[in-house]
Amino acid sequence: MRATTVRGASERLARLLTELLAPSVLVTALPLAVTARVSAGLPDFLRWGGVALLFCAVVPVGVIVHGVRRGRLSDRHVGDRTQRARPLLTGLASVAVGMALLVALRAPVELFATIVVIFVVGAACTVVNHWWKLSIHAAVAAATAAVLVSLHGPALHAGWLLVAAVAWSRVVLRDHTWAQVVAGIALGAPLAAGTYLTLT
């Protein structure tokens, strides 16, 4: 009985972490956090943040929600690897449009670099997931932590605890193996840090 209770509590916590730190949440929050830091005022925040929000979050997430409602996708996390290519490619196209618009709007380099990170990490996940179910949750969480540390400094290394929590949650829920979440972190962190630091 006690083991069952502990298991149930672990799964509830894992589900909460998986939802709160889902890729859709992080690719919404990260560009807005960066925009808030680099904007001179509300007009800049609304202009740059609006573009980033629309093309990095609203459109890609909308595609997934539509796919789930139409029965083309298994769930909002697209747990079936074979279903991931179309929503990932559509999301990448949307992010690419967002990047172009941010260049046209002369957005700060920090924000542009963040959007490029989202594109590059997304592209890498798309390629790997064609053959193997790498954890996109772990990759995006690691990329988010890497960008925040690069932007704000060592104080935000504490964010890696959340990356570990995401990885744990995916394994507890049996959506991924430890190899798949570690691979996601190993892909997302260096790719994000390298891309961001190169561009800034």
Higher pLDDT, 80 or 115: 115
Q: pLDDT digits over 114-137, tens only?
A: 999 999 999 999 999 999 999 999
What is the crossing angle of helices 136-152 and 178-199, to 10°? 30
Nearest to 188 by CA among 19, 10, 11, 30: 30
Distance (Å) of CA 111 to CA 94, 140, 154 = 16, 16, 19
Q: pLDDT digits over 49-78, tens only?
A: 999 999 999 999 999 999 889 988 888 888
Q: pLDDT digits over 31-50, tens only?
A: 999 999 999 999 999 999 99
Q: State pTM to two decimals.
A: 0.92
**CA–CA gap between residue 182 and residue 150 (Å, rounded):** 21
Q: pLDDT digits over 139-191, tens only?
A: 999 999 999 999 999 989 999 999 999 999 999 999 999 999 999 999 999 99
* pLDDT, position 74: 85
Question: What confidence tier does 28 reach under pLDDT thresholds 50, 70, 90?
Answer: very high
Determine whether 96 is exposed, middle or buried from the number of CB atoms within 10 Å of its CB (0-12, 13-18, 19+): middle
In sequence order, what are the residues at sequence separation of 6 or more whose Cβ sits closer than 8 angstroms to the Cβ of residue 178?
Answer: 167, 171
